[in-house]
Amino acid sequence: MLPLQIVEEKIYKIKLGDCSTREDFIDDCKPFVFKVACTFSRRLLEWGRDDELSIALIAFNEAIDRFRQDSGVPFLAFARIVMVSRLTDYQRHEKKNALAMVPLPGSGDGPNDIELHKAWEVYWKEAAERDREEEILEFEKLIKKYGVSFEELVLCSPRHRDTRQALMLAAHELAKNQHLVDEFHKKKKLPLAELEKNTGVGRKTLERGRKYIIAIALLIIRQEDFLYLFSYLKLPSC
């Protein structure tokens, strides 16, 4: 999967009309589409066999066209909303359920289409807000497993720029090293000796910023699961 900063850069190029970038981008994002579709379906899907993957891929392409870069929502989060909407609609249709998902608007400007545009705006904004809230709750649960709480993060967040950059360097070094990541997940502790050696950041600085490093490293490692938090904090991708 592409780093999230690269995703936003490619979306910008696509919006300028770069068709070749669009094709490559969609191909690069197929693992993300696969993950969203499988998570929604609660089973392992297979390309070329399961309709859910085709529907999700079409919805992803549709999301590129409908995405507004000034929306305040990361593209992949928006694309996930569109994919889930289309997959829900498909699922309900398959079950012959009379209830319908909010239909996405077309490209016309007739009265009905204008109403659909308004309905879609309301729907995706509400969906984005729900996603944000769920993401925060999930991240809170995750960091608790590593002995960190939101309250502690507020208190231990470095005020000085140099310290903050040093701790983010350590978090990035941890996240990009799979061996260190495995040890980190297994022991639920930071590999301080390795981080000191690989980054040159002093042991005392690492120890004082331990909880901050843990939270940032988890966001980098699990960035696809925490699209909003990762985007807002402008963290480095691996």
Q: Do both 156 and 96 map to the same domain? A: no
Residue 96 has pLDDT above 50, yes or no: yes
Quote the tokens at residue 40. 């929604």
| 51 contacts 37 by C-beta, under 8 angstroms | no
Query: How much is the pTM?
Result: 0.81
Q: Do both 163 and 78 map to the same domain? A: no
Band the pLDDT of 182: cuts 50, 70, 90: very high
Quote the tokens at residue 228. 């909003």
Residue 211 domain-assigned (yes or no): yes
Residue 108 domain-assigned (yes or no): no
The alpha carbon of 12 is separated from its chain's Cα centroid by a whole number of angstroms, namely: 18
In this prediction, residue 207 carries a pLDDT of 95
Kindly tell me the burial class for residue 97, based on how many C-beta atoms sit within 10 Å of its own C-beta (0-12, 13-18, 19 or more).
Answer: exposed
The percent of residues in the chain predicted with pLDDT above 70, rounded, is: 89
Expressed as residue numbers, the domain containing 35 is 4-101
Residue 12 domain-assigned (yes or no): yes
**Which residues, 6 or more positions from 78, have their beta carbon under 8 angstroms from its beta carbon?**
63, 66, 67, 71, 124, 128
SS3 assignment, position 9: helix
Residue 8 has pLDDT above 60, yes or no: yes
Instruction: Report how many domains make up the chain.
Output: 2
Residue 143 domain-assigned (yes or no): no
Q: Do both 30 and 96 map to the same domain? A: yes
pLDDT tens digits along 108-142? 555 556 777 788 888 889 999 999 999 999 999 99
In this prediction, residue 97 carries a pLDDT of 47
Q: What is the mean pLDDT of residues 8-18?
A: 91
Residue 165 domain-assigned (yes or no): yes
Residue 192 domain-assigned (yes or no): yes
